[in-house]
Amino acid sequence: MLSLYYPAGSFLHRMPTGLKLALLAIGSAALFFLPDSYWSILVVAIPLLGYVLARIPLRIMVTDVLRMAFLLVFLLVTQLIFNEPEVATTVVARLTTIILAAQLFTRTTRIKHLVVTVEKLMTPFEPLGVNPSKVALAVALMLSALGQIMGFIGQVRDAQHARGVRLAPWAWVVPVLVLSLKHADDMADALVVRGLD
Amino acid sequence: MIELQNVTVTVKPDDAVLLDNVSATLDAPTTAIIGENGSGKSTLAKVLSGLLDYTGSAKIHDIEVATGRKQLARRVGMIIANAAAQVIMPSVAEDIELSLRHLPKDQRQATLEAVLAEHDLAEFADRPALSLSSGQLQRLALASVLATRPDVLIADEPTTMLDARYAKLVGEQLFASEDRQLILITHDLQLAAKCQDIIWIHDAKIAHRGSDAIDRYLEHIG
């Protein structure tokens, strides 16, 4: 089950959402100026230090890191095939830092504050036909859907265990896709009945 | 008041008839719709909520549902059978707040707290909605819909996932307002019996209507 916000009341929690978002964007862009080197792995310490400063328990930090382990291993292997080890290390270090920083952002930011910030950021584009409320709602829905999909993965694995079935590690993909599509359909109904379509 | 005239719903590819030429005026403050699975109850609820295309006429407060969905959005609330999908925002409080967007900002917090207390959800306010049990999600879905103070509430199986304590609480909340018209789609015949009007739907048609509809339905299913 993906839980996003972790209430801890640290200065990172209290920092204005717009500022956090700007730091995340600027910091992520800055990482691409990082020279290719084994030392680049050290930048991963920045978001990890952020977790400590945000007073987020170690177990949550470890969970967040482990959650992306498969992706990072896959990325490292493919990078090692096509690039020098130093380049591969830098690419993986950059992505690990960005993903961890984004997770830290969601751990320290309430969705309602993010929605309000996105709405404000989109307001200047209103004359161009952009509906700020709908963009903000779409962001909230996307974050909710992530949690829901994680729940479906657990549900499908439980169903496989309950039947004593041992399937290939990727066998959950199709059932999760079907459940996600059904959920998307129900969610569309929910948006209509709540007057948000 | 709800007026249905020759409402028919068919679905492709084989043009299966989900609702067959249904006509009725629903003007009682509380109406229960009962019937077997697949008889057309939820289809009728979806027609009234603007979720399904239909032929004929379905009007709420003299507004045709098919063309007046935006006008009706704030006046008609619906609890869909899959409560988990009805919950849109990540946390309990945020989901209810979404329903309070029409209120001035200074009133939202107090209203939110009142809604949380009324639905016995205060202790879950900051919890991720997805960590709730099915029954708690169902109560959250109801709280989020009732927070908008709709004139008409369409509730599709609102007590299915609830234990006896919360089924009683939700039952009381559904019937709490005299200003709100309730259309209750349910298999819970005790709850249905509390409604002033009862409609039994069978094979996509109204099979019987009135206070003896439950008895006729029970006779039918043996």
pLDDT mean values, one per 10 residues, chain A (197 residues): 70 93 92 88 93 93 85 89 90 92 90 84 89 82 76 80 72 84 83 75
Mean pLDDT score of chain B: 89
Residue A119 neighbours by CB under 8 Å, 6+ apart? A132, A133, A135, A136
pLDDT in tens, B85-105: 788 887 888 889 888 887 887
Q: Closest by alpha carbon to A165, among A152, A156, A178, A176? A: A156
Best interface-test mutation with A: which of B48, B86, B100, B142 has the largest number of A CBs within 10 A?
B86
**What is the rounded distance in angstroms from the CA atom of residue A46 to the CA atom of residue A37?**
17
CB B1 within 8 A of CB B168: no
Chain B residues interacting with chain A (CB cutoff of 8 angstroms): 46, 49-51, 69-70, 73-74, 76-78, 80, 82, 84-91, 94, 97-99, 126, 128-131, 144-145, 148
- Chain B environment of A147 (Cβ under 8 Å): 90, 128, 130
Same-domain check for residues A71 and A122? no
Q: ω before A57 within 30° of 0 (cis)?
A: no
Q: Quick check: B148 pLDDT over 90? A: no
Residue A159 neighbours by CB under 8 Å, 6+ apart? A175
Residue A2 neighbours by CB under 8 Å, 6+ apart? A146, A147, A150, A151, B128, B130
Q: What is the pLDDT of residue A1?
A: 32
Same-domain check for residues A38 and A102? yes
Q: What is the pLDDT of residue B217?
A: 94
pLDDT band at B110 (very low <50, low <70, confident <90, very high): very high
- Chain A environment of B112 (Cβ under 8 Å): none
Average pLDDT over residues B142-147: 90
pLDDT in tens, B156-186: 988 887 888 888 888 888 898 888 999 999 9
Same-domain check for residues A88 and A1? yes
| Boundary (domain end) residue, out of A75, A109, A143 | A109
Same-domain check for residues A140 and A45? no
Q: Domain residues for A95?
A: 1-109
**What is the rounded distance in angstroms from the CA atom of residue A124 to the CA atom of residue A74?**
40
Q: Closest by alpha carbon to B201, among B82, B56, B53, B31? A: B31
Number of domains in chain A: 2
- Chain A environment of B80 (Cβ under 8 Å): 186, 189-190, 193
Same-domain check for residues A32 and A100? yes
| Boundary (domain end) residue, out of A56, A88, A109 | A109
Average pLDDT over residues B45-72: 90
The interface pTM score, or ipTM, of the predicted complex is: 0.74
Residue B128 and residue A196: Cβ atoms within 8 Å? no
Same-domain check for residues A105 and A130? no
**Residue B102 to chain A, least CA–CA distance (Å):** 11
Q: Is B92 helix (H, G, I), strand (E, B) or coil?
A: helix
Same-domain check for residues A147 and A60? no
Same-domain check for residues A102 and A126? no
**What is the rounded distance in angstroms from the CA atom of residue A135 to the CA atom of residue A193?**
19
Q: What is the residue whose two structure tokens read 């006779």?
A: B219
Q: What is the pLDDT of residue A197?
A: 65
Residue B128 and residue A194: Cβ atoms within 8 Å? no
| Boundary (domain end) residue, out of A86, A109, A132 | A109
Q: What is the pLDDT of residue A10?
A: 92
- Chain B environment of A192 (Cβ under 8 Å): 49-51, 69
**What is the rounded distance in angstroms from the CA atom of residue B197 to the CA atom of residue B31?**
5
Same-domain check for residues A38 and A80? yes
Between these two residues, A71 and B190, which has the higher pLDDT value?
A: B190
Same-domain check for residues A58 and A151? no
Same-domain check for residues A44 and A128? no
Q: Quick check: B30 pLDDT over 60? A: yes
Residue B88 and residue A194: Cβ atoms within 8 Å? yes
Q: What is the pLDDT of residue A24?
A: 93
In DSSP terms, B32 is beta-bridged to B184, B198
Same-domain check for residues A23 and A105? yes
Q: What is the pLDDT of residue B63?
A: 93
